[in-house]
Amino acid sequence: MSRAQGLRPPAGAYYVNRLEEFEMTEALRPWIREAQNGSTEAVEFILEQFHPLICKHSRKNRHHYDSMDEARSTAHLAIIDCIHAFDLNSDEDASRAFNRTIQSWFRRESRQNQVYWARVEKNIAGEDEATDLPPIIDELAPDPHHYMDFVGLRDALELHLSRLSERERRFLHLRYAADMTLAAIAALHGLSASQVCKVIKGAEHKLKSAMTAQEYKDISP
C-alpha cells in the first residue's frame, strides 16, 4: 500500500482559492515525493488530478499538433517534468507550478515547431535527390514523398541520436524503422502504449530541441 494512501484530494480537483490551493499542495506532497522516488502509481495519480488542466491546455494548443493525443502527450510530459523539478522544501503552490510548466512547454514547442518546419520547408529536396537520413527524419517530414536535406548537419544529427538513452533509440527504431505500432512496442517491453508514447515523444522533443539549437549555432555570427 502506498505511504500516501488516505491523503488523496478529490479526483480531478483544481482549486483557485489560495487556502484550498495550499491544502491541495499539502495533500499532493506525499504523492510528489513518491513519484520523485520512482513510483509510477504516484505519477499516474498526479496526472489524474490535473486531468482537467491537461485537457484545457491540450484543446487550446491542439492546432500545433497532428492529433489531440499528441497535444495531451506534451501536457503529460510537462506534468512529469514538473513533478521531478518540484522542490518539496519550498512553499511553492503545486497547482500553480504545474499550470506554469504546462504553459511553458506548449510555448516552447510552438516556437520550436515554427523554426523546425521553416527549416524543413527551406531544405526540402525532390525525390531524385533523396538521401539516406535516419527514418525518424523522414517520418517527421511533412511530405512522405520528399526528404530533408540536412547539408552539414548529418554528423550533428548522429551525435544527438547517440546522446539519447538506449531505450529512446530502440523505441524510435522500432516505431519508425521497423514500423511497429505503439501497442506492439508496449507488448514487447511489458509497458502500456501511453508509456511508450511518452518515451518516443520525449526522444523526439530532445532531437528537435538539439537540432533547433544547432540551427541557431550555425547561423550565429
Give CA torsion, residues 109, 114, 119, 121, to 10 deg: 130
Residues 6+ apart with CB under 8 A from 122: none
What residues in the chain have per-residue pLDDT under 50? 1-3, 5-6, 10-17, 19, 120, 124-152, 216, 218-221
Class of domain 124-219 (CATH, top level): mainly alpha
Residue showing cell 550533428? 156
Considering only CA atoms, which of 28, 43, 42 is closest in space to residue 77? 43
Per-residue confidence (pLDDT) for residue 214, from 0 to 100? 59
Taking the domains of the chain in order of start, what are their residue ranges?
A: 18-111, 124-219
User: What pTM did the predictor assign?
Assistant: 0.48
Per-residue confidence (pLDDT) for residue 141, from 0 to 100? 44
Per-residue confidence (pLDDT) for residue 114, from 0 to 100? 58
8 A C-beta contact, residue 71 and residue 65: yes
Q: Tens digit of pLDDT for each residue in 15-72? A: 344 546 667 778 888 899 998 888 888 888 898 989 999 999 999 888 877 778 888 8
Per-residue confidence (pLDDT) for residue 207, from 0 to 100? 82
